[in-house]
Amino acid sequence: MIHARTTAALLLTAAGLLSQTALAADPAVPYPADYRSWSHVKSMVIEEGHPLFASFGGIHHLYANKKAMKGYAAGKFPDGSVIAFDLLEATRADGTVTEGARKVLGVMHKDSKRYAATGGWGFEGFGGGAADKRVVGDNAATACYACHTAQAASDYVFSKTRD
Amino acid sequence: MIHARTTAALLLTAAGLLSQTALAADPAVPYPADYRSWSHVKSMVIEEGHPLFASFGGIHHLYANKKAMKGYAAGKFPDGSVIAFDLLEATRADGTVTEGARKVLGVMHKDSKRYAATGGWGFEGFGGGAADKRVVGDNAATACYACHTAQAASDYVFSKTRD
């Protein structure tokens, strides 16, 4: 009887942990650990005076995993597509603009069911590129998707590939 | 007799073509057809006023194949390492610097025997990124290696990887 009760209690605890994990992890965008080895799509510098300087000032590079590279070509991104927006400080001096510290790593992760509310894309920002510093969290709809809706025709993606 | 002469003439012609091909192709640096899918190492903008503007003005990206990525980590690059220096026009307007047309694709290709005279590296530049527009050719020693010798301690490579 004691054994049966203990087992039941353990099972309930396990079930509780599982459901908590599911609730907490479900909407979270995975940190893309290997994005620096993905294809480099394009780059751009945003300087002082630009309306997006406060959020995106610096030099940014866009990287895409293999599924996302197919998505750029197709105009529609398959589930599992991930695009990384890697924003670094840009220092202008002596006729050069050089890269500095990472400001934020932005991520778009396609999962048409999981992120149905935001165009099938999960959006996250990792402060300083740190996997545990989520700066978007539950605000993806207003902080990211609101602007990306303008790009509905290209599956909510602003960037285009180039040669 | 006529037949034999024709055959001999054809063989001589074929041998001549082969030796010409061998002579022309031997020191040539292969065009790195897939470099845009390699790892992106770093980027930099060089603007007017910089002493290297005439040669390298614009935004450049460095890409490395897998062997070269190991070379950066080891401080010595194995044969087969290839580093691409991809130089694009950079347009400064409205608080942004954006990428334009490709100016030149520079390549360093490690083969310690083939390119022994220039630090084990073959150097080439492809004008506009076109595989058939070789702008360095036989001038690698003066046009490229002369400056790269300053980096002998890092196996003649200027760039460093970053996070």
pLDDT at A10 over 70: no
- Residue-wise pLDDT for A72-124, tens only, equals 999 999 999 999 999 999 999 999 999 999 999 999 999 999 999 999 999 99
The band of B27, judged by pLDDT with boundaries at 50, 70 and 90, is confident
Q: CA-to-CA distance for A11 and A142, rounded, in angstroms?
A: 39
One-character DSSP codes across A126-145? EETT-TT-BSSGGGHIIIII
ipTM value: 0.84
Contact B163 A37 (CB under 8 A): no
Q: CA-to-CA distance for B18 and B26, rounded, in angstroms?
A: 12
52-71 of B, contacting A, C-beta below 8 A: 53, 59, 61, 63
Establish if B43 touches chain A: CB-CB under 8 angstroms: yes
Cβ–Cβ < 8 Å for B119, B147: no
Cβ–Cβ < 8 Å for B83, B62: yes
Contact A50 B102 (CB under 8 A): no
- Residue-wise pLDDT for B30-48, tens only, equals 999 999 999 999 999 999 9
Q: CA-to-CA distance for A110 and A120, rounded, in angstroms?
A: 6
- Residue-wise pLDDT for B76-125, tens only, equals 999 999 999 999 999 999 999 999 999 999 999 999 999 999 999 999 99
DSSP, res A50? S
Contact A97 B163 (CB under 8 A): no
pTM here?
0.85
